Amino acid sequence: MRRVRVDEGSDGQRLDNFLVKLLKGVPKAHVYRVIRSGEVRVNKGRAGADTRLASGDEVRIPPVRMAANDERPAAPAREFPIVHEDEQLIAIDKPAGVAVHGGSGVSSGVIEQLRQARPEARFLELVHRLDKETSGLLLIAKKRSALVALQDQLRRRDGAVVKTYAALVAGRWPANRKVIDVALHKYLTGDGERRVRAVQADHAEGRRSITLVGIAQAWDGYTLLDVTIKTGRTHQIRVHLTHAGHPIVGDEKYGDFALNKALARGDAVPGCRFERMFLHAARLRVIHPVTGLSLELEAPLPAECEALMHALARQHPPSA
């Protein structure tokens, strides 16, 4: 039996997240199992996965098998392009194709690699997430207090946080289609893959999801959209745009697979091969957790996305 004292760096953290971080190598499913069984105790009492820990709490942890060090390959140390950094937080420009954290067949992601690159950092935690295939702005807290404050802003959805994405979609987006208010349901496929589908508003497990859409630029056959999310559901933008009949270019889960292959071969837009999803977290506004001032961040479109847009401009006359 192991007893761990909660330090200031973990003050306010959920019990499940505390254990997942502490018990590296232990499957999450097993962590939740021992919590549900009552084997994990906080200050000698039973606790739920969502119990918030306080500095000085004692957590009793039952014996669990942890992977040996040689079974867990160390994450490669890696820094990422910095958009903003201060004593409270880091905003990076995440490349497409990099997961934000390890798990589900991915040995490591942004957070593990950044911790390896900054061994002196006492605290680094993801404030929110981006899909592996999505590039752009990602916030990382450097202090527990900053993490709690920023995540509270995200949960309130009172307009303090504004996330805007650039998305290139197939087809001509109708100018009068500015709001998508369609419920989403998250489920697992037979082989355990996470998926999301649009459902009726009265669906028992559907969650209301709202996406705001504006046209940034249009060509014959393609539209570049400015997309702002009012709710932060899994795969929300991807599913909403596909449901509207205009899938995101390069989306391997919900997109136009024939078009994606043609783009990757360089057939759809001659002179340009495009092999990723065109979804980029371009702008982010939050309230700074210490100063209380609005912090407005921007990440430019990646070079490959700019190259595709230039090729479209050459091959397709701009639409009015």
Q: How many CA atoms lie within 13 A of 299 on its CB side?
A: 30
Neighbours of 87 (CB within 10 A): 8
Instruction: Please state, in angstroms and as integers, the Cα–Cα distance from residue 146 to each residue in 12, 72, 189, following that order.
Output: 11, 30, 36
Ordered alpha helix ranges (H), 123-197 = 144-156
Q: Residue 173 in contact with residue 245, Cβ under 8 Å?
A: no
Instruction: Please state, in angstroms and as integers, the Cα–Cα distance from residue 173 to each residue in 45, 216, 282, following that order.
Output: 56, 10, 20
Residue carrying the six token digits 């709202």: 210
Query: Which residues are the active-site residues?
Result: 131
Q: Residue 221 in contact with residue 237, Cβ under 8 Å?
A: no
